[in-house]
A and B are shown apart, each in its own frame.
Chain A
Amino acid sequence: MATLIINGTPRDIEVDPDTPLLWVIREQIGLTGTKYGCGVAACGACTIHIDGVATRSCALPVSAVEPDQQITTIEGLSPDSSHPVQQAWLALDVPQCGYCQAGMIMAAAGLLMQNPNPADEDINAEITNICRCGTYNRVRAAIKLAAKAGEATQRG
C-alpha cells in the first residue's frame, strides 16, 4: 500500500512498486486524460506535473514518487479548463486528433511555471513532445499567448 497525492487528494493504492506512475494514474486512479504513447519517455503523451515540474510518467516507477509530492494530471490542471494554457489552446483551436494534447498542455504549463516568458529557443528545448497531426506551430503560438496572459505563474 502506498499513498499518492493526485490533484490535491491523497489516494491509497495497492500496486507493484515497479508499476509506472502512468499506469497507476490510468488504471488504479482511473484518470485517463494522461496518455500512453511509447512507454520509454520518448513522446511526452504521458506528461504530468510532480511538484510543478513537467515529468513523463510512463517510465517512472511509482515507487520513485514520495508520499508528500504533489502529482497533477490534466484533469487537475484547473477545475474548469480555465488555466491560461488551456484558455490559449481554446482560443487558437490547437488540437487536431488531441491524443498528444494533454501531454502538450502539461508540458507547456510546466514550462511557463519555470519560465513565464519563454523565447522560441526555450520552447524548442523544453517542448519535445511528439504530435503526428502537426499542431506544433499552434502549440508554439498558444504558449506565447498564455505567457502574454501573464497568469501562468500563479496557477496550476
Chain B
Amino acid sequence: MNATISLSRRSFIIGVAATAGGLSLGFNVPFIKPALAEGSEAAPEINAWVVIRPDDTVVIRIARSEMGQGTLTGLAQLVAEELNCDWSKVTTEYPSPAQNLARDRVWGNFSTGGSRGIRESHEYVRIGGAVAREMLIAAAAAEWGVPASECTARMGMVTHAASDRATFYGQLAAAAARMTPPANVTLKDPKDWTIAGKPLPRLDTADKLNGSQIYGTDLKLPNMLNAAIRACPYFGGKVESFDAAAVAGMPGVRTVVQVDETAVAVVADTWWRAKTALDALPIVWDEGPNRQVTSASIAAMLEEGLGANDAFVGARQGDAGAVLSAAGRTVTATYAFPYQNHATMEPMNATALYTPERCEVWVPTQNGEASLAAAAEAAGLPVQQCEVHKIHLGGGFGRRGNFQDYVRQAVSIARQVPGTPVKLVWSREEDMLHGAYHPTTRCRLTGALDADGNLTALHMRISGQSILAAVRPQGMQNGMDPVVFQGLVLSGTEGTLGYTVDNLLVDHAMRNPPIPPGFWRGVNLNQNALYVECFMDELAHAAGVDPLAFRRKLMAKHPKHLAVLEAVAERIGWDNPPAAGVHRGLAQIMGFGSYVAAAAEVSVTDGQLRIHRIVAATDPGHVVNPAQVERQVEGSFVYGLSACIYGECTVNGGRMEQENFDSYEVLRMAEMPEVETIILPSGGFWGGVGEPTIAVAAPAVLNAIFAATGKRIRTLPLKNHDLS
C-alpha cells in the first residue's frame, strides 16, 4: 500500500507561519511554563510533530495520552518511520490542549479511548514525519545547491551521494523549519517499515524503575496545598450541611469548602492531614431520591425489560420471531453482567491553580481537551484563559476520558483558595463509591435448532443500561444507543457479528437505573461477547456438535472472524484431547475494529478453578509494535478475568457497597494464567488492540468451566458460584 496523500487539509500545513503567536502567558502568579513552546532557535520545530535539537535529539509530539497501553511508543515509531531518523535519539513530549486550541487543533483529537490511539491517527502522524523528512532534505539540498531529488535521508542524516556530502538532522533543523512544506508526500508501504512494525522497547520504562516517573498524585508546586474530598455516597444525593468549625483547628487544616452541591473538601498542608480532618468532619447528607435502590431492585427492572415490547433493534435478518415460534426445538438462556469499577491503581486526582484571570490544571487525563473544557467551565473563565498540563496516567481504562469530575472538583476547590495551587487526590474509597461504572445489562437468548442441529433463528434481547443516554446523549440515534450493540451488528468496520444466522433479531430494552455508567475498558463488547459466545457453546452442546465445528458452520461468510478462532483452536490443540482433568473453551468476537479469539484450558478441583493456559489471537490489520500488542492482549486477561472471577459492584440503599480492594477483589499473580498471543495482521485495515480481547476472556473460561463441570455459569462474577 503506497498512499499519496494530498496535504490540502490545513492541519497539515504546518510551517513556521502557523506557529507564530501562540500562548501569551502574561500573568504574575507562579504558573509553570508549559513543557513546550513552539520551538526555538535552539530547538527548531520542523512541524507540529517534530522538533530537532542541534544535538540530533528528535522530539516527537504525542497528542494521545499514555496510560500504560504503549501508544506513546507506537505513535513515535510511526512518526520516526517516515522521518527516517535515528530511533536511539527519539524522545517525546505532549503538546498541551490549549496549544492545540490556539493552533487550530494542529494535533487533532486528544481523546484516548475506544482503542483509537493508533488506528485513528496513524495516517496524519506518518504524514507529519514524512513532511518533516522532506523539509530536512530540502534544507540540505538548498545548502548544497543540488536538486532535492538527488538527496536521501536515512538514520537522521541527509546524504548527497554524487558529491559525497552528508549532514545530520540537528545541523539542518533551523533551515528546515523555514522550508515550505511539500504539497504531498508518499507514505511507505508497511512491508518496508524498519522502525514501525518492530517490537521495540517502550520509551517510558526507565523512570518507572526507580520512582522518578511523576504521576498526578506526585505533583509538587510551590506553595501547594492538598485536598481530600468526600462526595455524597448516595447516588443523586447532595450535601445538606457540614460543621467546618469542628475540624478547623486540626493540624495543618487551612479551610473546609463545599464543592458544588455534592461534596465537601478539606484543604490542608498535607493530604494525610486533609484526609484525617475529613474523616472527623461531621457531614449531613441529603440522601436524595434513590435510597430504595438495591441490586435486587435493579435486577427486577432489567428482568422486566427482557420480556417488554419496547425495544430498539440493533440487528435484524429474516424473521426470527416467526421461525422461533414455529420451531420444533428451541434453547433459551438468560445471562447477566454486573456493575464494575475501573479501579485504576492511581486514584482520581487533579491539581488546579486559579486566579480571577486564569486557571491552570495538571491532570492525568485520557482526554486533555475534555479536561480543558471542564476546567474552563468550572473556573467560569473563557477557555483561552485556561490551560491543562497532561501528566502520565496511573491507569485509565475509560475512567479518565469522558468523565472530568475530579477536574471540576479541583477547580471548584482552587477557586476558593485563589492564587494557591491545590492538589486534589481521591481516597480509594472515594474512587470506589464514585465510579463511572461498567453498566449492568441482562440478555435473554433464544435459538432454534433444526433436526440436523443447525441454528435457524436467534433472538438476543438485551435489557439494561445505556452509557450514551447518560453521558453522551448527542450520540443517541432516535432514542437508540447504537453502542449497546457492539460486536453484534451486521455491517460496518467497528464490530460485526461473526455468524450468519438467517433469522436474527438483536434488540435492546433500555432500562436505566440511577447509577452513573461509563466507558469501562472494552465497554459493551464485554457483555455482548459473553452472551453470544457462551450461548453458542450452549447451542452446540444442545445440538450435540463440537463447539468449534458448530461455529464454523455459521462463519463461512466471516473469514477474518474465523481465522483468529481457528488460530487459537489449532494452537491449543483443539483436535487432540487435553491433559487429564483439563478442559477447554473457546470464544471469538470482533470489536474496536479488530478480530479476536481466545481458547482457555482450565481445571476445577473440589470447586477450585484453575486457569492453566490461555491462547489468544488478534487480527488488528496492521501492527505498529508487536511487543506492545502482546502486552495489551495479555493485560486484557487480567482485566477481563478480574471481572469474570471477582468483579461486582453491588448497590444497597442507593449507594455502592464495595469501598476498597478488600471488598472489590481483582486478579493477582497467583491466578494469572500463561497467555500465548498470536498476532495475525491481515492488512488493509487498522484495528485497535487495547480493548477487544477483554471480551473473550470470560466466555472462553466459562465455556471451559462448563466442559469441566457441566455447570453453565450465566451470571458474573464466578465468586458467587459453587463449582464443586
Contact = CB atoms under 8 A, between A and B. Distances in A.
A97 B66 CA distance: 8
Contacts of A39: 427-429, 660
A139 B669 contact: yes
Interface stretch (B74-82, B201-209, B574-582): B201-209
B595 interface: no
A89 B207 CA distance: 12
Nearest to A93: B201
Contacts of B2: none
A43 B395 contact: no
B637 A130 contact: no
B339 interface: no
A99 B210 contact: no
A43 B345 contact: yes
Contacts of A137: 634, 672, 674-675
B208 A95 contact: yes
Interface string A11-25: 000001001100100
Contact of A134 (B210, B634, B674): B634
B69, B70, B345, B674 interface centre (most CB from chain A within 10 Å)? B345
B639 interface: yes
A40 interface: yes
A43 B347 contact: no
A96 interface: yes
Contacts of B210: 33, 74-75, 77-78, 81, 86
Contacts of B661: 37-38, 40, 42-43, 130
Contacts of B218: 26, 32
Contact of B670 (A45, A124, A131): A124
Q: Is the interface of A mostly helix, strand, loop or mixed?
A: loop
A35 B672 contact: no
Nearest to B201: A93
B211 A132 contact: no
Contact of B639 (A34, A132, A140): A132
A101 B666 CA distance: 17
Contact of B251 (A16, A90, A123): A16
Nearest to B349: A36
A132 B660 contact: no
Contacts of A127: 669
A17 B381 CA distance: 43
Contacts of B206: 81, 90
B114 interface: no
B631 interface: yes
Contact of B211 (A20, A73, A100, A140): A73
Interface of B: 67-70, 201-202, 204-215, 217-218, 220, 226, 251, 270-273, 276, 343-347, 392-397, 425, 427-429, 627, 631, 634-639, 642, 660-662, 666-670, 672, 674-675
Given A40-B661, A136-B667, 13 more contacts: A26-B218, A30-B220, A32-B220, A35-B217, A35-B346, A37-B661, A73-B211, A89-B209, A97-B68, A99-B215, A132-B345, A134-B635, A134-B636
